[in-house]
Amino acid sequence: MAALEYGVKRLRTLPLSLRLTRELHAKLMAGVRGDSATPGEFRRTQNWIGPPGAALANATYVPPPPDTLMECMGAWEKFLHDRSLPVLIQAALMHVQFEAIHPFLDGNGRVGRLLITLFMVEREVLPTPLLYLSAFFEANRAEYYDRLQGVHAHSEWAEWLAYFLNGVARQSEDALGRAERINALTSRWRAKMAGASAVALKLVDVIAQNPYCTVRLVQQRLGVAFTTAQRAVDKLRSAGILRLVNQAKRDRIYCATALLDILEARETP
C-alpha cells in the first residue's frame, strides 16, 4: 500500500519510467522479504526462475543477461509511452514483458503487479487505484505462471491476453460488488445518524474511506476540537457502527467492523 500510494503521488509529476520503477522497487522492498537484494537498483548479475534450489542449468526460465538488461529495459520504457494500442492490451503486454526481463534480484512479481495498476491510473482508465490484479493472480497462481511461461516458450500471446482480460473482468466485478455493498451500508449508517450532530454524520464519510480511526485522527480530518471528535466517536460507537479494538489508555483505535468485513470478504466465484 505504501508503494502504491507513493506511485500514485509520483505520477502527478513523473510518468511511468525506469526512474519511477526503481523508486517503486526501493519503496516496496523497504523492510520486507528481499530488502537485502539491492532495493531500487537493477540487477548486475544473472538471475533465473525455477523450483526451490534450482540451479541455472535446470531453471524453468532464464531472463536476459545483465549486459543486455538496459537495452531490454529501454525498449520496455519506450513501449510504456506508445499510444497506439488499447490500454488493457498494452497493460497485459507491458506486464508480461517486464516479468520476462526480470530486472531486479527480487521483488519483480510485486513491482510488476503494481505497475499494472499505476499504468491504468496514468492512462486515466482508473480515477484511483481501485483495481488490483494481485488477488486474481494469487487465486490462479498456477495458471498465471503457466501463461507467462507459455509466452516465453511458445509465444502464446492470445492465451495470455485472454487470461489477463478475464482477470480484469473478474476483479472489476468484485470491486463493483464491494463498492455497492459499502454504499448501501453507509447509507444505512447515515439514516441511523440522521438526528445526530453534523460532526457525527461527517464521521460516517471519514470511516467510509478507512474503517479504522482514532479520536485524534477524527479531530484532524474534520477540523474540530478533540472533545467534539470524542463525542462523535462515542455516538457512532453507541449506534454499533464503531467498535473499540484495543485497550490503550491513549490513542484508542476504533473500527467499523461491518465495513471491514466487506473489504476482507473472499471474492465470490
Domains along the chain? 2-172 (1.10.3290.10), 193-264 (1.10.10.10)
| Nearest alpha-carbon partner for 177 in 120, 258, 117, 262 | 262
> How many degrees, rounded to 5, is the angle at CA 265 between CA 263 and CA 269?
120
Give the model confidence (pLDDT) of 126-145 as tens digits.
988 888 898 899 999 999 99
| Nearest alpha-carbon partner for 92 in 159, 33, 171 | 159
Q: Which amino acid is at 187?
A: S
Give the model confidence (pLDDT) of 3-54 as tens digits.
999 999 999 999 999 999 999 999 998 876 544 568 999 999 999 998 888 8
Give dist(CA 235, CA 252) in Å, integer: 15
**Helix 66-80 vs helix 18-28: crossing angle, to nearest 10:** 110
Identify the bridge partners of residue 244 per DSSP, sorted by sequence position.
254
The torsion defined by the Cα of 10, 82, 106 and 35, in degrees rounded to 10, comes to -10
Under 8 Å CB-to-CB from 135, ≥6 apart: which residues? 171, 174, 267
Judged against a pLDDT cut of 90, whether residue 99 lies above it is answered with: yes
Output the pLDDT for position 267: 67
Output the pLDDT for position 129: 86
Output the pLDDT for position 248: 77
Q: Which residue has the higher pLDDT, 29 or 122?
A: 122
Element (H, E) at 84: none
The DSSP symbol for 65 reads P
Output the pLDDT for position 74: 98
Judged against a pLDDT cut of 90, whether residue 181 lies above it is answered with: yes
Give the model confidence (pLDDT) of 204-246 as tens digits.
999 998 999 999 999 999 999 999 999 999 999 999 999 999 8
Output the pLDDT for position 34: 47
Are 108 and 102 spatial neighbours (Cβ–Cβ below 8 Å)?
yes
**Helix 215-222 vs helix 226-238: crossing angle, to nearest 10:** 120
Give the model confidence (pLDDT) of 58-83 as tens digits.
999 999 999 999 999 999 999 999 99
Place of cell 482480460: 165
Output the pLDDT for position 62: 95
- Grid coordinates of 181: 455493498
Stretch 157-174: mean pLDDT: 96
Give the model confidence (pLDDT) of 247-258 as tens digits.
777 889 999 999
